[in-house]
Chains A and B, each alone.
Chain A
């Protein structure tokens, strides 16, 4: 009962985490169904209609119900702690943000129960497919609208919290990197999500009230959907990755025993990605012939610059560090390497002529999974292993964590690297099956095996969770020798977060405190 009425940012953060992990599991099961269907050519495991619904719901669950809200979950728990605040600025609005999610999840998945099934037009819901689809599409629209409202008001809440609730000494340029990435993410959410709401409203009107927004017969424009949708959804891919970058930028310094290399450069690079993120949406639409190719191509290449800066931040942090390969660090290093591949293959398709060849092939699927799975999901687990002792006062087992990582890393590359080759060979995405003569079967089998290995890799993680919760909480304030304020309080923290806050004189207040202690002992 306490959990239903709570306005404590920590409890809401935990609710977010469980909710999103549940949908990670659901989306994962759907992914396994997709990979099973695609394992061999001319497979009849899933009917075409079912396949379309399942791949659509896989992406929708993973993006809207897992990755975007899980950052809100980590953010809820750790932003107030990291800036030394007692809670979010608006605790009740915070609770509202969370409680919009369960009805949205139910609405979206209720599509499977209605006539015509769930949404089946892909998570991008392109018109005219989405105009013609059955009622599941309407449920999908309402669900995404709800989720959008949740993240818009959540974003305003995060921004006010960061602008107004910082502890004495915690200047903007002393805020932990994770908090900074949440700040830029919140700005993107605040300004981009309402445009998606407008797009969804138009689609709903087209579908239900005879509107002609996307209907050329009535003077509408099919490409308009793509413009408004990607005006949100391109910034949204940064919404999905920036907090992950923030998490690993917390972890790499702690497990290298060094400060983050180029703190300010990292902050400015994050802002740069956020700003440029609004000027590249049409690179998803090169082949429509309706967008200014050179402009969007160049802007997309430019995003590689701040992203490259970050890669150097991370490498510079590792350089000469005293690195310990604990589970959080393994996942963080996995992020850096996989995200690098995802960044590079993304830059390939920024080149317009290359994109014309690769558009809507499995190369794009490979790219999105290298950034969102190899990137974001690895960051989620990095954050889980890193912050688990703080949230629940228990440490996850190191050996099981390493096993989890090995399965994920091997399975991930096995599942998604072949997709590059399939894409180059012309295998289109979003098809239920392919001809035996296509020669795509061996690589698809490999990819499916990889997907199964990822799924098996979740077993040690679940065992790890169960074992951890069976142990009594025993963790000290700061088990990793961290840098940021969340480690200054007990694990788990009291309701009021801090009994006392150490003075904040740099972006590493806990490091400063440890130094001071050693100095005093030496005297």
Chain B
């Protein structure tokens, strides 16, 4: 192994991180497919929410295609705040502050859990189900898959918290923390897109 130019440039990122970013790209495409379904359903419908599709039976059963905006706006704020706190945790460990990392992670986990509880509560308050027109189907599918990702993020951050307690991370070695925070930001950005799409775009 003598001559030849070297292909190993100075590596700014580990293999694991690169693989993780590629994984996130596939996640983007997954949500892209779901968003596409939502937009097509919405474009097809003469009105949104498509109340004209409700049968007399559904109306008699009290089905209302209405979303709870205020509660969700609050939980959106909570999720955005958790992105800030997890990034703060990353900044702390970059400076070698393990205690800051612990607190940042802990607060982010709590905020993520609050978001999930609020989403569950929201589900119980809504007057439509997944089988009440494509409005219900898209709403529960999109928010449900996102919620599953939030749960996944909470679990990942809890694992990272465990490793932090064991003192695994230092100013030099904390890539797992960065990856977890990136995942969390991704989940957060998807939610902002979802909130804007499902709740804010006027009919």
Known: A212-B133, A219-B44. A160 touches B22 (CB 8 A): yes
Interface pair B30/A202, CB less than 8 Å apart: no
**Other-chain residue from B18, B33, B50, B130 in contact with A194 (beta carbon distance below 8 A):** B33
Known: A192-B29, A218-B133. A503 touches B7 (CB 8 A): no
Known: A198-B33, A201-B145, A218-B53. A156 touches B19 (CB 8 A): yes
Interface pair A168/B137, CB less than 8 Å apart: no
| B35-43, B76-84, B89-97, B177-185 - interface stretch | B35-43
Interface pair A228/B23, CB less than 8 Å apart: no
Interface pair B41/A213, CB less than 8 Å apart: yes
Q: Is A89 an interface residue (CB 8 A)?
A: yes
- A218 partner residues in chain B, CB cutoff 8 A: 53, 131-134, 137
- B132 partner residues in chain A, CB cutoff 8 A: 218
- A192 partner residues in chain B, CB cutoff 8 A: 29
Interface membership of chain B positions 1-36, coded 1 if the CB is closer than 8 angstroms to chain A and 0 otherwise = 111111110010001101100110111011111101
Give the distance in Å from the alpha carbon of A364 to the alpha carbon of B13 in the complex.
46
Q: Is B135 an interface residue (CB 8 A)?
A: yes
Q: Is A157 an interface residue (CB 8 A)?
A: yes
Instruction: Give 23 CB contacts A-B under 8 Å.
Output: A89-B19, A90-B19, A152-B23, A164-B11, A168-B7, A190-B26, A191-B25, A191-B26, A193-B26, A195-B29, A198-B32, A201-B34, A205-B137, A210-B129, A210-B137, A211-B137, A213-B37, A219-B44, A219-B134, A224-B37, A227-B40, A228-B36, A505-B3
Give the distance in Å from the alpha carbon of A197 to the alpha carbon of B37 in the complex.
13
**Other-chain residue from B4, B18, B50 in contact with A163 (beta carbon distance below 8 A):** B18
A191-B29, A197-B30, A198-B34 given; name 5 further pairs at CB < 8 Å.
A198-B30, A202-B37, A211-B141, A213-B141, A231-B33
Q: Is B98 an interface residue (CB 8 A)?
A: no
Q: Is A221 an interface residue (CB 8 A)?
A: yes
Q: How far is the CB of A25 from chain B (nearest CB, A)?
A: 31
Give the distance in Å from the alpha carbon of A191 to the alpha carbon of B27 in the complex.
9
Q: Is B138 an interface residue (CB 8 A)?
A: yes
Q: How far is the CB of B171 from chain A (nearest CB, A)?
A: 24
**Other-chain residue from A157, A196, A220 in contact with B137 (beta carbon distance below 8 A):** A220
Give the distance in Å from the alpha carbon of A408 to the alpha carbon of B36 in the complex.
43
Give the distance in Å from the alpha carbon of A159 to the alpha carbon of B141 in the complex.
31
Binding site for A on B (CB under 8 A): 1-8, 11, 15-16, 18-19, 22-23, 25-27, 29-34, 36-37, 40-41, 44-45, 50, 53, 129-138, 141, 145
Interface pair A221/B7, CB less than 8 Å apart: no
Known: A212-B137, A218-B134. A195 touches B3 (CB 8 A): no
Known: A201-B141, A209-B130. A221 touches B40 (CB 8 A): yes
- A157 partner residues in chain B, CB cutoff 8 A: 19
Closest 7 CB pairs of A and B: A169-B4, A210-B131, A198-B33, A194-B30, A219-B134, A194-B29, A156-B22
Interface pair B4/A160, CB less than 8 Å apart: no
Give the distance in Å from the alpha carbon of A213 to the alpha carbon of B141 in the complex.
10
Closest to A189 in B: B26
Interface membership of chain A positions 212-241, coded 1 if the CB is closer than 8 angstroms to chain B and 0 otherwise = 110101111100100110010000000000
Interface pair B4/A505, CB less than 8 Å apart: yes
- B7 partner residues in chain A, CB cutoff 8 A: 166-172
Give the distance in Å from the alpha carbon of A195 to the alpha carbon of B28 in the complex.
9
Interface pair B3/A156, CB less than 8 Å apart: no
Give the distance in Å from the alpha carbon of A170 to the alpha carbon of B130 in the complex.
53
Q: Is A500 an interface residue (CB 8 A)?
A: yes
- A196 partner residues in chain B, CB cutoff 8 A: 33
Q: Is A199 an interface residue (CB 8 A)?
A: yes
Interface centre among B23, B36, B37, B131 (most CB of A within 10 A): B37
Interface membership of chain A positions 171-185, coded 1 if the CB is closer than 8 angstroms to chain B and 0 otherwise = 110000000000000
Interface pair A213/B32, CB less than 8 Å apart: no
**Other-chain residue from B4, B32, B134 in contact with A195 (beta carbon distance below 8 A):** B32
- A201 partner residues in chain B, CB cutoff 8 A: 34, 141, 145
Give the distance in Å from the alpha carbon of A220 to the alpha carbon of B134 in the complex.
6
Q: How far is the CB of A221 from chain B (nearest CB, A)?
A: 5
**Other-chain residue from B23, B44, B131 in contact with A221 (beta carbon distance below 8 A):** B44
Q: How far is the CB of B175 from chain A (nearest CB, A)?
A: 14
Give the distance in Å from the alpha carbon of A211 to the alpha carbon of B145 in the complex.
14
A473-523 residues at the B interface, CB under 8 angstroms: 500-501, 503-505
Give the distance in Å from the alpha carbon of A210 to the alpha carbon of B133 in the complex.
9
Q: How far is the CB of B126 from chain A (nearest CB, A)?
A: 15
Closest to A89 in B: B15
Interface membership of chain A positions 86-114, coded 1 if the CB is closer than 8 angstroms to chain B and 0 otherwise = 00011001000000000000000000000
Known: A224-B40, A505-B4. A190 touches B33 (CB 8 A): no
Give the distance in Å from the alpha carbon of A193 to the alpha carbon of B30 in the complex.
8
- A169 partner residues in chain B, CB cutoff 8 A: 1, 3-7
Interface pair A190/B135, CB less than 8 Å apart: no
Interface pair A209/B131, CB less than 8 Å apart: yes
